[in-house]
Structure 1
Amino acid sequence: MDDSGDRLTGGNERRAAEHAGLWKADLGQAPHYTPAFAGGGWTCLACPLDDCDWHHDDPVAQPSAQGVVEAKVREHLETHSVVDFLSSLQSARDSSTALRESNNRAWDVVSLHRLRSVHQGEHPSSDPIAQMLSAALVGTAEHEKVRAEVTRLSADVAGARGIASVPIAERKGA
């Protein structure tokens, strides 16, 4: 890759690798972050392509020079063909489409519950299931009540401990 046009360049490549490291770590894949290893932990840069396990661990206490890390990332990315990048983009598009379709199906359930309420002469938002699902889909603070109840109810059920979802920001310590 060269530095022309809209292609990845120096800092952009490193940002893509940092983002990929966080993404893969969140999914439990090989790149990982350790907050307290050898006094400072590691920052992991990873290949942004889904099926590639390449990553570079950089110590937080003594990070490599920015140019050195950018050169490592660039060197690795140049080992991939355009087909590798296109395949990864198609996979991302397919995942986004599946997520959008899943989201639409969930909103259909919210609409069904709201319409049932209207047909019973009630306010459209009177159904508690529709309220909880709507709060979950839009990410409102009310959904925290659902997480808290799931945590409370799962505490004494065998195999159910820790089943409540955890926001990504909390998992990353942000």
Structure 2
Amino acid sequence: MNITEKQAADHAALAGMWKADRGKAPHYTAKGFLSAGWTCIACPLDDCDWHHDDPTGRPAAPEALEAKVREHLAGHDLVDFLRSLQAARDSIVAVRESNNRAWDIVNLHRLQAVHRGEHPASDPFAQMLSAALVGTAEHEDVRRQVTELSEDVVGAHNIASVPAAERQGK
């Protein structure tokens, strides 16, 4: 089966949207497009859909890829780069603040346990939230329980979070 340029472009556009929806990095290797692997190099700037899909079976020379990327990036204004970096910084700050608020809840539960004369780690909610925040193996028990409990609830299928490494196929 021959792949036309339009089919390849359609695939690239869909792959770019799929990556953006899943927070993929601008460069990654994927398999699945007609059983061929592709390395995708995408513009890191917000609101820019430019990307280049390179078949892993017959990749372009690294110098050619670098020249293609540099040529594209040269077309952007410095302000575009600064705006994208600021948006990324704002997102990171928002995540950090959210994380801090969650730790406030953990600390509140631990201090309440101390005031009740209990060990600070005796509160099961604080233990679960702490495990989630630091990514311990114990959090996998929470994901398992969410999956089990959601099986019989209409509209609640697949609501357990999926680790980033699994989403990215690592």
With the length of structure 1 as denominator, give the TM-score of the two structures.
0.81
Q: Could you list the runs of 5+ residues in structure 1 that have no partner in the other structure?
A: 1-19
Contact (CA 8 Å) 2:24, 2:168: kept in 1 or not?
A: no
- Which of 136, 142, 160 in structure 2 is aligned with 1:140? 136
Q: Which residue of 2 aligns with 1:60?
A: 56
Q: Which residue of 1 aligns with 2:96?
A: 100
1: CA distance between counterparts of 2:29 and 2:124? 39
Change (3 A) 1:153 1:33: farther
Q: Which residue of 2 aligns with 1:120?
A: 116
Quick check: 79-88 or 41-50, which moved more? 41-50
Q: Which residue of 2 aligns with 1:72?
A: 68
What are the residue-to-residue correspondences of 1:11-50 with 2, within 5 Å?
24=20, 26-27=22-23, 34-50=30-46
How far has the Cα of 1:27 moved from its partner? 3.0
Contact (CA 8 Å) 2:54, 2:60: kept in 1 or not?
A: yes
Q: Could you list the runs of 5+ residues in structure 2 that have no partner in the other structure?
A: 1-15
How far has the Cα of 1:58 moved from its partner? 1.0
Change (3 A) 1:140 1:23: farther
Percent identity (aligned): 64
Number of matched pairs: 155
Quick check: 151-160 or 37-46, which moved more? 37-46
Q: Which residue of 1 aligns with 2:4?
A: none
Q: Which residue of 2 aligns with 1:51?
A: 47
Q: In the alignment, does 2:155 pair up with 1:170? A: no
Bigger helix share: 2
Q: Which residue of 2 aligns with 1:81?
A: 77
The Cα offsets for residues 129-169 of structure 1, whole Å up to 9 and x where unpaired, read as 10000001011111111111111111121111111111111
2: CA distance between counterparts of 1:48 and 1:28? 11
1: CA distance between counterparts of 2:77 and 2:113? 55
Contact (CA 8 Å) 1:21, 1:45: kept in 2 or not?
A: no
Change (3 A) 1:146 1:140: same
How far has the Cα of 1:54 moved from its partner? 0.8
How far has the Cα of 1:61 moved from its partner? 1.6
The Cα offsets for residues 51-79 of structure 1, whole Å up to 9 and x where unpaired, read as 21111111122111111111111111101
CA RMSD, Structure 1 to Structure 2 (Å): 2.6
How far has the Cα of 1:108 moved from its partner? 0.4
Bigger strand share: 2
Q: Which runs of 4+ in 1 moved over 4 A?
A: 20-23, 31-34
SS in 1 for 2:120: coil
